[in-house]
């Protein structure tokens, strides 16, 4: 009995030792290699760093590292740092799920998709910054990352999957970027410390159920200004807690614009949203002085531009008033060849002391190059039917070789020039026009111009038996009516042989209305039938009203046309005695042939489609359409797409296999044969080893 007891004890000790030996850890032998590699991945066991170089590599590395694999090189738990290199765009499903010791994560630019459970259960991951370009975060992508306390999502993000960040128990705040359209159910479930949720999305994204389930009841949701009702509705419809405090972001920042009229009439302050332009206020007045604009400083060194300048702070704008002395204006007028008396009247009219009274009753002569800036004021020249009135002169006379430029620098271009020649007939050759441009140059680019010819003179152009000179109209509103037998804009009397020539007329903007005088051969624009006509050049797009009678036409336009620097007898050829041209915005479409045959650019009206040009050609290629981008991803639809700006369309070419007399388009399966010999030659010219295409590829 004693021996048996002793043996039993010994046996028990042996078994205990054996079991202990089995269960006790065995010290591993030193690793023979620190680097393990596979297709698209490598792992350095010394630094515990896993590096991925391809999309497939993000999941392929797991194949022989599973703890359940009989003899793993390393396990998921060995990975502490993950480096994803440039070129990787998709992180596959379960790529790093269960890497419980992963604490450092480096993303490249270019990642677009993070797969299902890609980083789930990465217990030591504390912060996450996703790069711009990420569009989709898959279901449970970062679920159960217990220590994750900081998450920065990119502006590019669109969708967040179900349970994407579930149980991120250290996360205290999150911002949902402005392009997100949907948050999956339970996306932030169990984020028990989440107390600040900021939405940058103007239209609430679609919310799954229980998106924020488990977040503290004291959580605050910050939303864009003016969206409370929309977010309350979405939270209610999706079954999410409505106990969050909804706080709208700050309303748009506004600034106050104060107008210092410098003694003029008061102008009310304006409140303007930051970054916006300023709508011009009503014009102030100040006795006999005229307003010359708003300036940013009291010294008038920089004028405020209501088209381009934006409000970024509280600001005071200062009114500038011009108070020319008669002596100064006389000096300017004398330089332009005017008589002192006329210059004195010009001064007083501009300063408002001769209201309702014609400014001039005698010809205003422009003897040197001169710019007449109407600056919002009205200038009237009214010649009587008398000698030396309208019968022997013109309202404005531009002498030979001299240029008169009429412009208007006022806000809204409210200036007005009215010139009327009241002569019933003429007594002097070259007389009778309202604005006489014979041998001179007239440029109109602003204001409202009304010119009514008398006797045998044009509204704008030549007097009796005189040419029209050079006339350029770029805007804004011009109305011209010819006298007896004369053009609205062009030559003087057309009564043979007392007819002048139209010379050069260019219209490239604004609204231009021209009416011929009495006499069936007189034209609205250009020269009469009895005159040697010259170019009437029209640039740009216009609606036009045109008729053979010298009476206004109302209602719908006669037509609409784009003129591309056209030199045309538009007026004279069709016998128009009334023409109104009204500018319509046009844009240019340029065709980038990508080394193909030429296609001419076209002009088109705003918001109109264009006709597809004849398909271009390129040796060895097939034309495959026009595209709006150089990468050839967005095809232009000629039936639907409209032109809203100057654009370029890019030709797409598909490479075809070709030989002497034949071409094969591999994208359509079309073989084109142009010679007898080619009907068989194509079969032997497909390429060595048939690497180009197979006979069975031919369908057409």
Q: What is the DSSP letter of 359?
A: S
- Does residue 571 surpass a pLDDT of 50? no
pLDDT of 368-410, one tens digit each?
777 777 777 677 778 787 655 566 778 888 888 888 888 887 7
Q: Summarize the confidence of residues 18-46 as an average pLDDT.
A: 64
- Does residue 502 surpass a pLDDT of 60? no
Taking the CB of residue 633, how many other CB atoms lie within 10 A of it? 9
pLDDT at 67: 61
Of 138-142, 366-370, 481-485, least confident by mean pLDDT is: 366-370
- Contact assessment for residue 171 and residue 196, using Cβ atoms and an 8 Å cutoff: no
pLDDT of 524-539, one tens digit each?
888 765 555 556 888 8
- Contact assessment for residue 81 and residue 50, using Cβ atoms and an 8 Å cutoff: yes
pLDDT at 51: 92
Q: Which residues sit opposite 627 in a β-bridge?
A: 635, 650
pLDDT at 651: 85
pLDDT of 217-234, one tens digit each?
567 888 888 888 888 888
Average model confidence (pLDDT) across the chain: 78
Whole-angstrom distance, CA of residue 579 vs CA of residue 47: 85
Q: Two tokens at 346?
A: 């010009």
- Does residue 103 surpass a pLDDT of 70? yes
In SS3 terms, 312-324 reads as CCCEEEEEEEECC
- Does residue 619 surpass a pLDDT of 80? no
pLDDT of 174-215, one tens digit each?
889 989 998 999 999 989 888 888 888 888 888 888 888 887
Q: Summarize the confidence of residues 73-88 as an average pLDDT.
A: 89
Instruction: Place 500 in a pLDDT band, splitting at 50, 70 and 90.
Output: very low
- Contact assessment for residue 467 and residue 503, using Cβ atoms and an 8 Å cutoff: yes
- Contact assessment for residue 433 and residue 421, using Cβ atoms and an 8 Å cutoff: yes
- Contact partners, residue 174, CB within 8 Å, separation at least 6: 151, 153, 165, 188, 191, 194, 196, 197, 198
pLDDT at 479: 92
Taking the CB of residue 375, how many other CB atoms lie within 10 A of it? 20
Strand, coil or helix: 370 = strand
Q: Which residues sit opposite 277 in a β-bridge?
A: 310
Whole-angstrom distance, CA of residue 108 vs CA of residue 114: 13
Instruction: Place 115 in a pLDDT band, splitting at 50, 70 and 90.
Output: very high
- Does residue 583 surpass a pLDDT of 90? no
- Does residue 314 surpass a pLDDT of 60? yes
- Does residue 355 surpass a pLDDT of 90? no
- Does residue 342 surpass a pLDDT of 80? no
Helix then strand count (H, E) for the chain reads 7, 44
Higher pLDDT, 9 or 486: 486
Residues found in the chain? 700
Q: Summarize the confidence of residues 466-472 as an average pLDDT.
A: 83
Higher pLDDT, 392 or 596: 392
Whole-angstrom distance, CA of residue 587 vs CA of residue 82: 52
Burial class (CB in 10 A: 0-12, 13-18, 19+), 214: middle
- Contact assessment for residue 583 and residue 560, using Cβ atoms and an 8 Å cutoff: no
Of 233-237, 650-654, 663-667, least confident by mean pLDDT is: 663-667
pLDDT of 644-662, one tens digit each?
888 888 888 776 666 677 7
Instruction: Place 347 in a pLDDT band, splitting at 50, 70 and 90.
Output: very low
Residue 5 has φ and ψ, to the nearest 5°, of -65, -40
Q: Two tokens at 505?
A: 């007329």
Q: Summarize the confidence of residues 548-557 as an average pLDDT.
A: 86
pLDDT at 24: 43
DSSP line for 87-103: T--EE-TTSSTT-TT--
Q: How far apart are the first and last CA of the chain?
A: 103
pLDDT at 401: 86
pLDDT at 193: 87
- Does residue 7 surpass a pLDDT of 70? no
- Does residue 100 surpass a pLDDT of 60? yes
Residue entry with tokens 């990352």: 145
Higher pLDDT, 521 or 457: 457
Q: Summarize the confidence of residues 614-623 as an average pLDDT.
A: 73
pLDDT at 363: 76
Of 15-24, 483-492, 686-695, least confident by mean pLDDT is: 15-24
- Contact assessment for residue 635 and residue 649, using Cβ atoms and an 8 Å cutoff: no
Q: Summarize the confidence of residues 99-114 as an average pLDDT.
A: 90
Q: Two tokens at 301?
A: 């060194």
Report CA 36 to chain centroid distance, whole Å. Answer: 52
Of 3-7, 50-54, 189-193, 672-676, least confident by mean pLDDT is: 3-7
* Percent with pLDDT over 90 in the chain: 20
Whole-angstrom distance, CA of residue 526 vs CA of residue 502: 5
pLDDT at 549: 85
Instruction: Place 25 in a pLDDT band, splitting at 50, 70 and 90.
Output: very low
pLDDT of 623-646, one tens digit each?
778 888 888 888 889 888 888 888
pLDDT of 58-77, one tens digit each?
888 887 676 655 557 788 88
Q: Two tokens at 538?
A: 């029209």
Instruction: Place 341 in a pLDDT band, splitting at 50, 70 and 90.
Output: very low
pLDDT at 57: 84
Of 103-117, 238-252, 544-558, least confident by mean pLDDT is: 238-252
Q: Summarize the confidence of residues 427-443 as an average pLDDT.
A: 83
pLDDT at 418: 87
With b for 16 or more beta-carbon neighbours within 10 A and e for fewer, the 585-624 pattern comes to ebbebebebbebeebeebbbbeeeebeeeeebebeebbbb
- Does residue 690 surpass a pLDDT of 60? no
H-run or E-run covering 129: strand 127-129
Whole-angstrom distance, CA of residue 161 vs CA of residue 170: 20
Strand, coil or helix: 264 = coil
Residue entry with tokens 């538009």: 570
């Amino acid at each position: 009995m004693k021996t048996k007891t002793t043996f039993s004890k010994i046996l028990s000790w042996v078994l205990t030792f054996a079991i202990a030996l089995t269960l006790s850890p065995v010290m591993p032998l030193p690793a023979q290699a620190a680097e393990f590699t596979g297709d698209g991945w490598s792992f350095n066991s010394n630094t515990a760093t896993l590096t991925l170089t391809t999309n497939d590599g993000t999941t392929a590395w797991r194949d022989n590292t599973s703890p359940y694999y009989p003899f793993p090189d390393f396990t998921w738990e060995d990975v502490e740092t993950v480096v994803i290199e440039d070129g990787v765009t998709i992180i596959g499903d379960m790529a790093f799920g269960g890497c419980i010791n992963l604490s450092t994560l480096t993303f490249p630019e270019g990642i677009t998709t993070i797969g299902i459970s890609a980083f789930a259960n990465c217990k030591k991951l504390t912060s996450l910054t996703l790069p711009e370009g990420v569009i989709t975060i898959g279901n449970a992508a970062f679920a159960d990352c217990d220590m994750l306390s900081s998450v920065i999502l990119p502006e590019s993000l669109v969708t967040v999957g179900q349970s994407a960040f579930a149980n991120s128990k250290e996360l205290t705040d999150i911002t949902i970027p402005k392009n997100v359209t949907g948050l999956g159910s339970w996306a932030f479930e169990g984020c028990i410390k989440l107390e600040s949720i900021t939405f940058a999305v103007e239209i609430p994204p679609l919310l799954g159920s229980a998106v924020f389930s488990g977040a503290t009841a004291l959580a605050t949701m910050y939303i864009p200004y003016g969206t409370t009702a929309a977010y309350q509705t979405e939270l209610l419809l999706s079954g999410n807690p409505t106990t969050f405090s909804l706080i709208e972001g700050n309303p748009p920042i506004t600034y106050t614009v104060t107008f210092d009229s410098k003694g003029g009439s008061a102008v009310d302050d304006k409140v303007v949203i930051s970054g916006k332009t300023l709508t011009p206020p009503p014009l102030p007045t100040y006795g006999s002085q005229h307003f010359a604009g708003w300036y940013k400083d009291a010294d008038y060194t920089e004028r405020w531009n209501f088209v381009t300048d934006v409000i970024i702070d509280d600001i005071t704008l200062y009114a500038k008033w011009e108070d020319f002395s008669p002596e100064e204006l006389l000096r300017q007028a004398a330089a332009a060849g005017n008589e002192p008396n006329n210059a004195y009247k010009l001064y007083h009219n501009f300063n408002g002391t001769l209201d309702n009274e014609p400014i001039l009753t005698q010809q205003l002569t422009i003897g040197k190059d001169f710019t007449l800036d109407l600056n919002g004021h009205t200038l009237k020249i009214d010649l009587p039917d008398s000698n030396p009135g309208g019968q022997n002169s013109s309202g404005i006379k531009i002498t030979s070789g001299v240029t008169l430029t009429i412009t208007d620098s006022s806000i809204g271009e409210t200036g007005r020039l009215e010139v009327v020649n009241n002569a019933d007939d003429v007594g002097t050759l070259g007389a009778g026009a309202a604005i006489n441009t014979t041998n001179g140059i007239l440029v109109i680019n602003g204001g409202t111009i009304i010119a009514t010819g008398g006797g045998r003179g044009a509204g704008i152009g030549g007097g009796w038996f005189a040419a029209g000179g050079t006339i350029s109209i770029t805007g804004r509103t011009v109305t011209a009516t010819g006298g007896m037998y004369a053009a609205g804009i062009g030559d003087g009397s057309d009564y043979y042989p007392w007819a002048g020539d139209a010379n050069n007329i260019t219209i490239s903007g604004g609204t231009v209305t021209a009416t011929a005088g009495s006499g069936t051969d007189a034209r609205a624009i250009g020269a009469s039938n009895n005159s040697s006509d010259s170019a009437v050049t029209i640039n740009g797009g216009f609606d036009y009203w045109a008729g053979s009678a010298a009476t206004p036409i109302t209602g719908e336009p006669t037509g609409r046309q784009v003129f591309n620097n056209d030199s045309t007898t538009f007026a004279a050829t069709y016998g128009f005695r009334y023409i109104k041209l009204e500018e319509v915005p046009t844009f240019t479409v340029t065709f980038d042939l990508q080394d193909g045959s030429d296609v001419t650019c076209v002009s088109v009206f705003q918001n109109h489609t264009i006709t597809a040009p004849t398909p271009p050609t390129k040796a060895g290629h097939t034309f495959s359409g026009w595209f709006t981008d150089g990468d050839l991803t967005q095809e232009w639809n000629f039936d639907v797409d409209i032109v809203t700006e100057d654009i370029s369309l890019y030709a797409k070419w598909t490479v075809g296999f070709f030989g002497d007399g034949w071409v094969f388009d591999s994208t359509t399966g079309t073989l084109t044969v142009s010679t007898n010999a080619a009907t068989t030659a194509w079969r032997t010219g497909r390429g060595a080893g048939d690497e180009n295409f197979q006979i069975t590829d031919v369908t057409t």
